[in-house]
Amino acid sequence: MQTSIFYFRNLHLLSIVFSTFSVVLLASIFFGSRPSVADTSVADNIGVDVGIKVDTVTAMPVVLASIQPLALLAQQVVGEHGSVNVLLPGQTSPHDYALSVSDRQSLVSADIVLWVGEALERFLSKPIRQRDKPLITAMALEGIQWPEEGGNAHHHDGHDHGSHDPHLWLNPLNHLPIIDSLVAELSRLAPAYALHYQRNGDALKAELIALDQRLLLETQGADGAAFVVAHPAYTHFVARYQLAQLDYVASTPERRAGAKHLYRLRQLAEVECVFEDYGWSNAGAKQLAQELGVPLLSLNPFGVEEKRGNQIVAESTSITQLIARLWGDFQRCGIAK
């Protein structure tokens, strides 16, 4: 009797084991016929049809522009197929900026960095060399127009940017090679949107060429009012449109004019206006305008928002608007058609 009980117990255990094995085997066969996403990627790479299509989504490129004018340009090219960030806050001078930890992280993570060059943004020269991703240096691009030394923008030894004034974005035509370079890099990173970038770039180039032609016509009839600027940031605009800039107060917004130079400026009897840089300390320009008895006006080469109290009274939302507003600011000195 005990032998029979033992036999039936063992038979029952064998039945359970066999049933469990059957379930596992069927599950492995069923699920094993469905490849994972990783498996489909591998299979697709070797040309095997696994019966399942996986959508590939093109990553949106991230462009980091060093300054606001370049960010305005980049945003018009990128459009909705990517994002554009700007490194320097609006009214921060690029001449002596110090990178924060978050700035360095942005430099590392950006797909493309767009900057003017070491002559303007010396603080970026070392960090940028550590990048292994696309970098567009505007000053190094073929096709950038450089003003001739000794043109309308007068200068003096030791203070002039000369023919290498890095504020190159103030000539509309200098944006054309920048746009071409940006379109090429974006198209390489996101080929699915290449046509989008090309169309945006072509449209922006057409706007800039039209603006340049309009400014050439308007400045041909200008009366040649002479002026002094706070620092030599306007050589590209002044030379392109043949304005009568006589001199400048200091080489950068952070420097103070020397006594001898200020004395020489006071002898410029033909000065009709002095321009200060909006948003920066302009003690020398203010002093000169007061002593000469001429209007003190402001120019905004970076297109940052201008406020009167807490109210924004002007803000450039495109690179063409920035340049057109600069011309409007010059006209307030009586430089009119």
Instruction: For residue 123, give its domain range.
Output: 62-150+164-210
Give how many domains the chain has, as a whole number.
3
Query: Is residue 230 within 8 Å of residue 298, measured between CB atoms?
Result: no
CA dist list (Å): 242 to 214, 253, 335: 14, 24, 11
Query: What is the spatial distance between Cα 279 and Cα 253, in angstroms, rounded to a whole number?
Result: 10
In a structure prediction context, what are the per-residue pLDDT tens digits for the chain, which is 337 residues long?
A: 444 444 444 544 445 444 544 444 444 444 444 333 333 333 333 333 333 333 345 689 999 999 999 999 999 999 999 999 999 977 788 877 889 999 999 999 999 999 999 999 999 999 998 899 999 999 999 999 999 865 454 444 344 444 589 999 999 999 999 999 999 999 999 999 999 999 999 999 999 999 999 999 999 876 778 999 999 999 999 999 999 999 999 877 767 777 888 889 988 889 999 999 987 778 889 999 999 999 999 999 998 877 666 666 567 899 999 999 999 999 999 876 5
Beta strands in the chain (DSSP E): 62-65, 83-86, 112-115, 135-137, 227-229, 245-248, 273-277, 296-299, 306-308, 311-314
User: Is residue 103 domain-resident?
Assistant: yes
Q: How many degrees, rounded to 5, is the angle at CA 117 between CA 314 and CA 214?
A: 45
Distance of alpha carbon 32 from alpha carbon 20, whole angstroms: 18
Q: Is residue 299 part of a domain?
A: yes
Same domain for 180 and 73: yes
CA-based nearest residue to 68, from 16, 120, 26: 120
Are 226 and 306 part of one and the same domain? yes
Q: Do 79 and 190 fall into the same domain?
A: yes
pTM: 0.79
- Point out which residues pair with 167 in neighbouring strands: none
Q: Are residues 190 and 229 in the same domain?
A: no
Question: Is residue 84 a part of any domain in this protein?
Answer: yes
Does one domain contain both 124 and 194?
Answer: yes
Starting at the edge strand that comes first in sequence, how are the strands of the sheet with 112-115 ordered? Answer: 83-86, 62-65, 112-115, 135-137
pLDDT at position 93 is 80
pLDDT for 45: 37
Verify that 175 and 240 share a domain, yes or no: no
